[in-house]
Structure 1
Amino acid sequence: MDIVVFDPKMGAAGDMIISCLIDAGADPQKVLDNMETVANTCGEINVRPHEVKKNSIKATKIDIEIKSENPDLSYKDMQKAIKESGLDREVCDLSLDILLSLKKAERKVHGPNHSFHEVGKLDALADIVGAATAYHNLKLNEHTVYSTPLMVGDGYIKTSHGNLPIPVPAVTEILTQNQMTWAGGPVKGELLTPTGAAILSNIIDKYTETTPPLKIKNRGRGAGTKNFETPNILTIYLGQTNTLINDFIGILETNVDDVDGETIGYLIDKLMNEGALDVFVISGLMKKGRKGELLKVLVEPEDIDRLAEVIVRETGSLGVRINKRQHRLIANRRFKKIEVLGESIQVKVGFLENGEVIDVSAEYDDCIELAKKTGKPLKEIKEMAESKARREL
């Protein structure tokens, strides 16, 4: 399976995103022409790509020279420039989506009548269009785009609103609205700009703690303007990985030796109803020859604290062991309604990223209800539903 992975260990700005996509093979002339065409409806810029070295590592960098006055552009000014400049439809649509992300963040932070200020500039307009052009020129829309956690920097930054904490409120709002995975550091200074955050929020499909196992076919490095001990570079990898999906879950464990079976049964049902992914109990021999159980619960990472409290309250356990991020590989799954004997049964379909179906499983509760209603054996109902689902698939 072909995938794309952004690795923003040193953050991302609009120019860095464009630069790494050009370095990975996007047509530089197409990208630069679109940037200049749109921005020059509001002023005059000149865009120049060149090779630089950051801590001896080669990368592509684009410089935007503003040859006219750099006006304060409103959202409508920028929207009009994008719509009326003759961009390809897909590039225009993505550019407008990125611009809208910025508008929503600015409005949430500053109110509906706030002007764009720092983001309402010719270079920001050019960055938005350049990133959208490079994204589609590389046909990244045809692949799953991953990102490792976004590093945003730390400290404070001087703006027209005074000194603001990093990440600045507009960036924080974009990260929050799009549930983007991020972390502070690793240096003092701003690493993730509002424009960079808005662009990535519209092109990243999934986040992963680390780069997935990958056979690299190509890579691109885009340099930023800042100099740190760690090179100010955004890297993108294009390559092939397996047909399973990288995923992370939490695992909760506790030992119990004084809880009766009815309580355990009730706890299993409660945990599943509260959102646990799976619950299982393993019987064993504990200290002093006591019989006990190991309770193990698979959960979404965001549910760890809440479900750990459920376990403590229901079992009286004084402690729960936690694995916050257990890496696993999973198949895709979706649900399909199948009509059997005049009734609807939900069937879970497991499939790989390439579309290959690997498992079809009828919903147990639905099959039970139909078996009771018709008097037919449960096994027969399940086979009928799953066979029909396979034929339709």
Structure 2
Amino acid sequence: MEKIAYFDCSTGIAGNMCLGAILSAGMPLKELLAQLKGLGLEDEYEFTVAHVKRQEQAATSVTIKLGHAHGHRHLPDIEALIQRANLPDRVVQWSLAIFRELAAAEAAVHGIPAEQVHFHEVGATDALIDVVGTCLGLHWLGVDRMVCSPLPVGGGTVKAAHGRLPVPAPAVLELFRRAQVPIYSNGINRELVTPTGAAIATSLCESFGPPPAMVLQQVGLGAGSHDLPMPNILRLWIGTDAAAIADRSSSVHNHRAGHSPGHSHSDGHSHSDGHSHSDGHSHSDGHSHDHHHDPAGNTPEPQPGYTESVVELQTQLDDLTPQAIGYLYDVLFQAGALDVFTQAIGMKKNRPGILLTVVCTQANQAACQSRLFAETTTLGVRCTLQQRRTLYRTWRSVNTVYGAVDIKAGLATPQGPALNLQPEYETCAQLARDQGVGWKRVQWAAIAAAQALYTQQDWPLQPPEPQGTKPSAPGG
């Protein structure tokens, strides 16, 4: 059964707050410290845990006090430390993704390659402990997917290695932009989201918005370092997919209905020893291991991509000038729409009309609805919450005889393989015009180059190049 983590960040997110929430949610401190030893940094820091109160609410506080300074570390140094630390594969993948995203943001801010970004002695060691420790905790808790709330921007200034910086710090602002994070002001002028916290959220969380439907099992409370006008606590909600539980309950009810009274048989049979064995067996280590066996006893192929919630907005229009539709597409995509499309329909009194459909996230629902009311003649919009399965997406640039073309890849997992490869239209069109050749010829060359690259290696998720943002890809 899928386990979900929701980061509730009403006062922001930082690496030490994540660690506090992880420990509060149940991971033993002894086990966390034992696994962190694999990094070989024990002489560089002191790990302190305290139970504190923020506005009279109890939470767990973690402090990483630095001792022996290592000096500057670059991204390759940090990658090497993580890769040789004998960590679980998923922890390695998550940790590398976080540091690569953080390095890419810093690189964009400073105008240098990501490999040249150096993590200062003030931040390199504690960032490593924060990131790897958080990933270890999420792995120990058995988390399958993560969602984060919208993030507060904070305000004021913060002291950094090169002087004082405005809040949000430039790297945090870049991480917000790259991940298209919904942000807002809660009126608190402090640094609320640190670069490490932002990188954890934007690298691990599949979406930003309200809590997903789940059955809540645990709550971890990680304290921030300062007292604020509201409780400075990161709340980590851990639960299981509510839809899956409903499906299982229905299946159990139907299965039991076919048996005589007194014998309770579920997907996981009830035995006299008192242990319940389900599709994902419950073990003494506290983790739920999801095997998903089918009735024939076979283990099906894992589903590519991930599931997320989207909102479908619909309205019929029969009195709107056609010129407005093209403009409407642009403003809806600017408001965060994932996809917009129209269908021809017949309406009352035999009037021809269109059915306008907008697909968006819950975080952008209000903005898209506002555009529909402002730019069309509609008097009402229907809203439906849906679940969709989507591939992970990343971009690569490939070289062709006509020039470089950006390729959008749809990945089964964040580490590959690539299931879909699609050249960017505008690049192909511009090259076709410049070279005086057909657009299809450029597209075919780009696909061939991408396929050749794909046969050599999987396409792990990598941050976009600093030179610009790729357009969002529609897809219902």
Give TM-score scaled by structure 2 length.
0.56
* Residue in 2 that maps onto 1:223: 223
- 1:300 is the counterpart of 2:303: no
* Contact 2:94–2:135 (Cα < 8 Å) also in 1: yes
How far did 1:234 drift? 0.7
3-state DSSP of counterpart to 2:108 = helix
Give 1:225 shift.
Answer: 0.3
How far has the Cα of 1:219 moved from its partner?
Answer: 1.1
- In structure 2, the residue matched to 1:177 is 178
Structure 2 match to 1:248: 311
**1:276 counterpart = 2:340:** yes
Q: 1:98 to 1:213 in 2, by over 3 A?
A: closer
Counterpart Cα distance in 1 of 2:369 and 2:358:
8
CA distance in 2, matches of 1:19, 1:39: 22
Paired residue type of 2:347: S
8 Å contact from structure 1 (residues 21, 134) kept in 2 = yes
SS where residue 347 of structure 2 aligns?
A: strand
Q: Quick check: 1:128 aligned with 2:131?
A: yes
Shift in Å at residue 47 of structure 1?
0.8
Aligned to 1:52: 52
Is 1:101 the counterpart of 2:101? The answer is: yes
Give the letter aligned to residue 153 of structure 2.
V
| Preserved contact between residue 72 and residue 120 of structure 1 (Cα < 8 Å) | no
Q: State the 1:21 CA deviation.
A: 1.7
Q: Which amino acid aligns with 2:129?
A: A
Alpha-carbon distance in structure 1 between the residues aligned to 2:370 and 2:56: 48
Secondary structure at 2:10 match in 1:
coil
Instruction: Between 181-190 and 239-248, report the one with greater CA deviation.
Output: 239-248
Greater alpha carbon shift after TM alignment, 179-188 vs 241-250: 241-250
Q: Cα offset for 1:120?
A: 4.1
1:127-166 to 2 correspondences below 5 Å: 127-140=130-143, 143-166=144-167
CA contact (8 A) 1:39 1:123 kept: no
Question: Where does residue 22 of structure 1 map in the other structure?
Answer: 23
CA 1:109 to 1:250, structure 2 compared with 1: closer, same or farther past 3 Å?
farther
Shift of 1:88: 3.1
1:126 is matched by which residue type in structure 2? I
SS of 1:167 mapped into structure 2: coil
Match of 1:364 in 2: none
Q: Is the CA contact (8 Å cut-off) linking 1:10 and 1:186 kept in structure 2?
A: no
Structure 2, gaps ≥5 residues long: 245-306, 334-338, 392-476
TM-score normalized by the length of structure 1 = 0.66
TM-fit CA distance, 1:205: 1.9
Q: Is the 8 A contact 2:73 2:121 kept in 1?
A: no
Comparing 241-250 with 84-93, greater Cα deviation is found at 241-250
- Is the counterpart of residue 64 in structure 1 residue 123 in structure 2? no
d(CA) in 1 for partners of 2:233 and 2:313?
32
Show the counterpart of 1:380: none
Structure 1 position 227, deviation (Å): 1.4
Q: Deviations over 1:148-204 (max 9, x none)?
A: 212232333332334433222211222233333333434111111111111222221
Task: Tell me by how many angstroms 1:318 deviates.
Answer: 7.5
Q: Does structure 1 retain, via aligned residues, the 8 Å contact 2:172–2:195?
A: yes
SS in 2 for 1:52: strand
Structure 1 stretch 296-305 or stretch 1-10: which is displaced more?
296-305
Instruction: State the identity %.
Output: 25
For residues 303 and 204 of structure 1, do their structure 2 counterparts lie closer, same or farther at Cα, with a shift above 3 Å needed? closer
The alignment partner of 1:127 has SS state of: helix
Cα distance between partner residues in 1 of 2:308 and 2:80 = 40
C-alpha displacement of 1:22: 1.7
The yes-or-no answer on 1:198 pairing with 2:262 is: no
Query: Which residue type is aligned with residue 19 of structure 1?
Result: G
Amino acid at match of 2:133: G
Distance 1:303 1:239, change over 3 A: closer
Return the letter of the residue paired with 2:31: K
Q: C-alpha separation between the residues in 1 aligned to 2:54 and 2:154?
A: 18
Aligned to 1:343: none
CA-CA distance at 1:75 after TM superposition? 2.5
Change (3 A) 1:91 1:252: same
CA contact (8 A) 2:17 2:234 kept: yes
**Structure 1 SS opposite 2:243:** coil
How far has the Cα of 1:296 moved from its partner?
A: 5.0
The equivalences for 1:80-99 within 5 A come to: 80-99=80-99
Number of matched residues?
Answer: 312
Answer 1 or 2: higher relative contact order, Cα 8 Å, separation at least 6. 1
Relative to 1, partners in 2 of residues 1:89 and 1:331: Cα closer, same or farther, differing over 3 Å?
closer
- Describe the shift of the 1:235–1:118 C-alpha distance in structure 2 as closer, same or farther (beyond 3 A): farther
C-alpha distance in 2 between matches for 1:91 and 1:138: 12
Question: Structure 1 residues 143-152 or 226-235, which shifts more?
Answer: 143-152
C-alpha distance in 2 between matches for 1:25 and 1:102: 28
Instruction: Quote the residue 1:372 is aligned against.
Output: none
Secondary structure at the counterpart of residue 118 of structure 2: coil
Aligned to 1:329: 386
Change (3 A) 1:163 1:251: farther
Q: Secondary structure at the match of 1:276?
A: strand
SS of aligned partner of 1:229: coil
Moved more, 48-57 or 183-192: 183-192
Task: Answer 1 or 2: which has greater strand percent.
Answer: 1
Please give the root-mean-square deviation of Cα atoms over the aligned residues, in Å: 4.0
Q: Secondary structure at the match of 2:231?
A: coil
Q: SS in structure 2 opposite 1:87?
A: coil
CA distance in 1 between counterparts of 2:77 and 2:243 reads 45
Deviation at 1:322, TM superposition (A): 9.1
